[in-house]
Amino acid sequence: MKQFLIAGNWKMNTDINSTSDLLESIWNLKKNYSNSVQVLVCPPFTNLSQANKTLQDKPIHLGAQNCYWEPKGAFTGEISLDMIKSCGCNYVIIGHSERRSLFGETNQMINNKLHAILSSGLIPIVCIGETLEERREGRTFVVLEEQIVNSLEGIDEKIQDIVVAYEPVWAIGTGVAATEEQVDEAHNKLREMLNNKFGSTANKTLILYGGSVTSENADSIFKLTNVNGALIGGASLKAETFVTIINTAEKYV
């Protein structure tokens, strides 16, 4: 049976009150969740504790959008994995292209975070993806392979405990999602790269697509063999569209 993860990346949106409002709206629209379609929301750090209170024992997972790899100390402005765990999170997004391009995150830093997350028992969602320039130059798969090799260095059989999100940079927040053919090609290639590097254990790794996913295009993406869900920005901030996307995934399990 195919496994899905539908993850909302709220980015730097919502405050304490609107976090609860949005979660309550999602819950009011959808109360039954399939074991094969895990649902995750990733609000800003400052709202995680409130989100945890609002979600209580509901079958919606909570995640952070970033973390630091050191456990504690003089790292002003950073957030440790124990802090994230104490807010009720079980997922952490790392390597988002906005973190790479705006905040200088390198594959080495992402690899440090990845190892720390795996040691903490949380589930990392590692984002990778090519820029428009790299795609135009025909370097998409070289770039993806480089990101896979360097950011996933040293995790071996723990490959099955991580989630990979393929997010072409040119599709994020632009309203221009990758076409069905582009998603299919990239995800098949990624599965092949993961299998080559980690062996058949990598068949268990969930590979999400991200970049302008909407309630309209979700169906054409979720039906693809090597797509296990989506990392959703803008469309996760509206309860109706987020729930429609979750329901769409349920058609394919």
Residue range at the interface with ligand PGA (CB under 6 A); choices 33-41, 115-123, 198-206, 230-238: 230-238
For ligand PGA, give the closer residue by CB, 48 or 96: 96
Among 40, 209, 233, 246, binds ligand PGA (CB under 6 A): 233
Q: Is 208 in the site for ligand PGA (CB under 6 A)?
A: no
Query: Which pair of structure tokens corresponds to residue 103?
Result: 């905040």
Residues with catalytic function: 96, 167
Query: Which pair of structure tokens corresponds to residue 16?
Result: 């304490």
For ligand PGA, give the closer residue by CB, 22 or 80: 22
Among 211, 215, 229, 244, binds ligand PGA (CB under 6 A): 211
CA distance linking residue 247 with residue 253, whole number of Å: 11
CA distance linking residue 59 with residue 90, whole number of Å: 12
Considering only residues 7-66, where is the footprint of ligand PGA by CB under 6 A? 9
Considering only residues 158-197, where is the footprint of ligand PGA by CB under 6 A? 167, 172-173
Give the end-to-end CA distance of the chain in Å, rounded to a whole number. 6
CA distance linking residue 149 with residue 48, whole number of Å: 31
Query: Which pair of structure tokens corresponds to residue 81?
Result: 């994995």
DSSP 8-state symbol, 35? T
Q: Is 231 in the site for ligand PGA (CB under 6 A)?
A: yes
For ligand PGA, give the closer residue by CB, 95 or 211: 211
Q: Is 210 in the site for ligand PGA (CB under 6 A)?
A: yes
Tokens 């124990």 sit at which residue? 82
CA distance linking residue 120 with residue 9, whole number of Å: 21
Tokens 């302008």 sit at which residue? 212
Binding site for ligand PGA (CB under 6 A): 9, 167, 172-173, 210-213, 231-235
